[in-house]
Amino acid sequence: MPELTRRRALTAAAALAAAAGTQPLLAPGASAAGHSHEGSLEPFDEVYKGRRIQGRPAGMDDMGGMKGMGGGHHHGHGAGYAVFVDGVALHVMRNADGSWISVVSHYDPVATPRAAARAAVDELQGAALLPFPAN
């Protein structure tokens, strides 16, 4: 039987670590492929940390007086979904993997437009949301 050397032990440990490290990389892709985010696109209207957040598919005509306030999205990035914080349109975008980001919390993708609105409220820390200029 060969003697266990430091080199063999480190090689075996590296092989085990590499094999264990590939499992988390494969699992999210496999579960995301079979998961639909379409159910998360329902309208919402709530008060979160003292701020009124609203969201709706952009095709809806009216949500509590929001008619005519723009779509909350530009150039189709929002996948036809409008989000508002205290009545001001929050620019949201849907990523290719189905996650959502906003102009306020651009580097923190979340699962739903509601979560994007909540993340924006958290990031604003009480400051007013200014309208996003359309190009």
- pLDDT tens for 33-61 read 334 444 458 899 999 999 999 999 987 55
Tens-place pLDDT, residues 102-131: 999 889 999 999 999 999 999 999 999 988
Average confidence score pLDDT of the chain: 75
Which residue intervals of 34-134 are DSSP H helices? 113-124
